[in-house]
Structure 1
């Protein structure tokens, strides 16, 4: 049974523990944690997500510029791209357990539970913006550094392309090709949720969920690569 979503002071306390920021404007915090798919929501976090994406980019660029003073642009740019990628934001949302705090369509949350997804990436970016508006750039920087700085020194060539990597892995041993098929399409037109399966001869199928067909196909390929041990399953950061 899912835990009841906290509100008011309980919500503010949980967010402060996860971000280090004590919100003065609770209405702003509630907006940051309300996805556009939430039933009967008067406001949602789309505008904050737009701003948060820009604040995140500035803070991460500044962080990398300071951390790697001798690195050329061609070395730090891939790190930047990976750190601000939606998959990283989604991963951080899972680490923060934001799925328990975000208002969103129940079907979307249920089918994405524990796997991240676009709505969590949106919430992370919106939360960055809300902290920036509520407490200024220094408060936003402290939050970003808390979660992004430990990831900054990871060896990063480029964000993984699971569909390409799955195809390349299969091609080493056979001429089979992955076959993707939509199993379900749920949710409203403005916020669809796709469930896609990938099948490869000789292997059990894998499924993935995403807010677009492409995202769901990538999730299915990722699940396949993790299950077969092609990608190490490192779990969340401690």
Structure 2
């Protein structure tokens, strides 16, 4: 199905979307606004940004952050602030929100101007992520925080339990991996340096007892250490290639 034209949405499209999202709006106009990109409004309209989804996106971003923070706080009672922050950042990033919006088939109903529609705006992660947040903002206004929280939990809970990206830096992950196996902490040594003095490249090897060392390059010693730790984790199958 192609994206709906800018002039509006019919009641069947709105009803189907509400079924997918799991919230029946008392005020369907809120949902229509949540689906309205600024390009869909007349250029001469003085309030075009106010009438687009931008304000709802602002609100939804904060609602999502609070709902996810609460969910993480409950799910990981032993996690420190740093881990909770990394998990939060992973869940509220635009790519995650866009993935949720794709599950709602938002691209079929988002209201776009002709130019934006012709350049594939309905499939752009940035727009889909924004609309996910604007819909959450609309649900908050329509049904309160309890309704918004329920929607977040319904669609973000599995993503919370199955993060698609590493939530720790490679050095920390490697140290924890070694400790879990009763091994001494990994050791790092500089095995080389190449390039001019003004732009050196450092070669760092990481060694873990009982395993072959792994070397990697970086523009600083810290970057090289992180790269070597990541290379080690990838080699041992702890992290996937490209993680």
How would you bin the TM-score normalised by the shorter chain? 0.5 to 0.7
1:153 partnered with 2:161: yes
Relative to 1, partners in 2 of residues 1:126 and 1:4: Cα closer, same or farther, differing over 3 Å?
closer
Q: Deviations over 1:161-192 (max 9, x none)?
A: xxxxxxxxxxxxxxxxxxxxxxxxxxxxxxxx
Match of 1:32 in 2: 34
Aligned equivalents of 2:93, 2:129: Cα separation in 1: 9
Aligned equivalents of 2:166, 2:153: Cα separation in 1: 21
Match of 1:13 in 2: 15
Relative to 1, partners in 2 of residues 1:20 and 1:56: Cα closer, same or farther, differing over 3 Å?
same
CA-atom RMSD in angstroms: 2.8
State which drifts further: 71-80 or 39-48.
Answer: 39-48
* 5+ residue gaps, structure 1: 160-228, 233-238
**Match 1:123 to one of 126, 131, 153:** 131
Query: Given that residues 12 and 23 in structure 1 are in contact (C-alpha distance below 8 angstroms), is that contact kept between their aligned partners in structure 2?
Result: no
Aligned equivalents of 2:103, 2:242: Cα separation in 1: 19
Query: Given that residues 25 and 134 in structure 1 are in contact (C-alpha distance below 8 angstroms), is that contact kept between their aligned partners in structure 2?
Result: yes
Displacement of 1:115 in angstroms is 4.5
Aligned equivalents of 1:90, 1:24: Cα separation in 2: 25
Report the count of equivalent residues.
165
* 5+ residue gaps, structure 2: 169-239
Q: SS of 1:71's equivalent? A: coil
TM normalised by structure 2 equals 0.60
Query: Given that residues 94 and 116 in structure 1 are in contact (C-alpha distance below 8 angstroms), is that contact kept between their aligned partners in structure 2?
Result: no
List structure 1 segments (4+ residues) > 3 angstroms apart after TM superposition.
3-6, 109-116, 229-232
Relative to 1, partners in 2 of residues 1:104 and 1:3: Cα closer, same or farther, differing over 3 Å?
closer
Aligned equivalents of 1:47, 1:114: Cα separation in 2: 19
Say which one has the larger Rg: 2
Q: SS of 1:136's equivalent? A: helix
Aligned equivalents of 2:158, 2:117: Cα separation in 1: 27
1:2 partnered with 2:2: yes
